[in-house]
Amino acid sequence: MSENGDGCAPEGAHYGPWVWTAYRAYNELLREKVKKRFDAQEGPWMDKVADLLVQIVNARWEGGRKKEKETDELFEKLEQLLSE
């Protein structure tokens, strides 16, 4: 029988949400630590990739054939960065 005496909840169910909260906190902390490691090791490279992606999107929005060559050059730069 459960601690609350109603016979409905399994043994220890009253602290189940707290255990779940602890697991979530653990995973969030681990996620933040991994993000920090990636930022430290890959951050500068990712900044370059992000900058190029923004330039590509902006060039495509501006559109037209005059931007086609510029867009192609940006895609070439992106391909080069992704192969590093």
> Could you give the residue ranges of the DSSP H alpha helices within 7-82?
16-62, 65-82
Q: Is residue 40 part of a domain?
A: yes
- In the predicted structure, residue 68 carries a pLDDT above the cut 80: no
Which residue matches tokens 């890959």? 42
Into how many domains does the chain fold? 1
DSSP state of 10: P
Q: Is residue 8 part of a domain?
A: no
pLDDT at 22: 94
Q: Give the domain range for residue 70.
A: 13-82
C-alpha dist (Å) from residue 73 to 58, 59, 62, 67, 69: 14, 11, 15, 10, 6
Q: Is residue 62 part of a domain?
A: yes
Q: Is residue 1 part of a domain?
A: no
Q: Is the pTM of this model over 0.85?
A: no
Query: How far is the C-alpha of 17 from the C-alpha of 2, rounded, in Å?
Result: 16
Q: Is residue 5 part of a domain?
A: no
